[in-house]
Amino acid sequence: MSTSETESSQTESFVPPPTPQLSLLLELQEDDLALDRLAYRRRGLAERVAVSELGSRLAELAARVAEAQEQRDKLASQLLTLDQRSEAVGARIATIEQRLRSGRAGSYRDEQAMGEEVASLARQRREIEDQELEVMEALEPFDQELTALTQANSSAAGELALAREQLGIAEAVIDDETATIRAARDQLVTRVAPELLASYERLRAKLGGIGAARLVGGACSGCHLQLPAGELHRLRHAAPGSVVYCDQCGRILVLTSDQADR
Ligand SMILES: [Zn+2]
């Protein structure tokens, strides 16, 4: 423990300067709070919100594309089946007509039966073609939707790339600032006595990031509660270099000479 160069005075208004160790601790506390604020800012960056929102939009678009594509595929497969049926009917008509033309039909009755079959097949083919038209009409809106979705998707993907870039820039600014403060903190830490540092770290982890507090106007700046007069008197006359704790919140309490505590 370091000893203060000033002897404690008996006058009530005298506030002993904080020992170098406690001053360092206050500096450390400031750095830690600055780092906490930077981390908080980094997490809550508007650019991060934008990236997340665009990510959701892209996921939603992908789901809509999948749904439209599935419907479209169903119709396309129906169309293929109809097309195959229409071709088969056409081939059958061609075969019969070929036989009729070649004169291998046989009797007149056979010829008549074949003619009737051709007429019936032709009717069937027209029906199939009508169905094909219906399916093609049903396909059209899905094709339009898919085109629109593809456009929306590519524009959202472009926006996302840009938003990611902007997030990267914003993060880099905070990271630079963080690195500077962290380097200063790393330096400070080597100068703080290990037991004091351990005590501070423990309190900081437990008490919302604040392990060391100033005494301001007779109140603890950690819990903002006014200290009883007797307690103040005890603190002011504590042995130089001793570490005192707030009775109410348990934080390390640092009396600084620039505050005229009465
Ligand atoms: Zn307190």
Q: What are the residue ranges spanned by the domains of the chain?
A: 20-32+193-254, 46-187
Helix (H, G, I), strand (E, B) or coil at 31: helix
Question: How would residue 87 be classed by pLDDT, with cut points 50, 70 and 90?
Answer: very high
- 228 CA distance to ligand 1 centroid (A)? 12
**pLDDT (mean) for 209-237:** 91
- 101 CA distance to ligand 1 centroid (A)? 110
- 181 CA distance to ligand 1 centroid (A)? 26
* pTM exceeds 0.85, yes or no: no
**pLDDT (mean) for 200-217:** 95
What was the pLDDT predicted at 10? 40
- 192 CA distance to ligand 1 centroid (A)? 22
pLDDT in tens, 2-61: 444 444 434 444 455 567 889 899 999 999 999 999 999 999 999 999 999 999 999 999
Main-chain dihedrals φ then ψ at residue 155, nearest 5 degrees: -70, -35
Share of the chain above pLDDT 90, in %: 74
CA distance 36 to 261: 29
Mean pLDDT check: name the lowest of 100-109, 184-193, 253-262.
253-262
Tokens standing for 72? 């479209």
What was the pLDDT predicted at 5? 40
- 202 CA distance to ligand 1 centroid (A)? 15
What was the pLDDT predicted at 260? 41
> Count H helices, E strands: the chain?
5, 4
- 190 CA distance to ligand 1 centroid (A)? 26
- 239 CA distance to ligand 1 centroid (A)? 20
Short-list 47, 50, 70, CA closest to 58: 50
* Axis crossing angle, helix 20-43 with helix 194-206, rounded to the nearest 10: 40
What was the pLDDT predicted at 130? 97
- 222 CA distance to ligand 1 centroid (A)? 5
What was the pLDDT predicted at 13? 46
- 105 CA distance to ligand 1 centroid (A)? 112
Short-list 107, 87, 109, 90, CA closest to 98: 90
State in words which class domain 46-187 has: mainly alpha
What was the pLDDT predicted at 17? 54
CA distance 198 to 178: 22
Which residue did the predictor score with more confidence, 27 or 105? 27
Which residue did the predictor score with more confidence, 88 or 110? 88
What was the pLDDT predicted at 7? 41
- 216 CA distance to ligand 1 centroid (A)? 11
- 177 CA distance to ligand 1 centroid (A)? 30
What was the pLDDT predicted at 236? 83
pLDDT in tens, 107-166: 888 889 999 999 999 999 999 999 999 999 999 999 999 999 999 999 999 999 999 999
Placement of tokens 């993907």 in the chain = 157
What was the pLDDT predicted at 100? 87
- 224 CA distance to ligand 1 centroid (A)? 6
With b for 16 or more beta-carbon neighbours within 10 A and e for fewer, the 231-261 pattern comes to: bbeebbeeebeebbbbebbbbbbbbbeeeeb
- 235 CA distance to ligand 1 centroid (A)? 13
Which strand (E) or helix (H) includes residue 245? strand 244-245
Helices (H), the chain: 20-43, 46-102, 108-189, 194-206, 229-236
- 225 CA distance to ligand 1 centroid (A)? 6
Short-list 210, 219, 217, CA closest to 252: 210
Average pLDDT of the chain, as a whole number:
89
Write the CB contacts of 59 (distance below 8 Å, at least 6 apart in sequence): none
What was the pLDDT predicted at 6? 40
Task: Put residue 206 in one of left, alpha, beta given phi > 0 → left and psi -120 to 50 → alpha.
Answer: alpha
- 54 CA distance to ligand 1 centroid (A)? 45
What was the pLDDT predicted at 9? 38
- 17 CA distance to ligand 1 centroid (A)? 19
- 249 CA distance to ligand 1 centroid (A)? 4
- 4 CA distance to ligand 1 centroid (A)? 24
Which strand (E) or helix (H) includes residue 219? strand 219-220
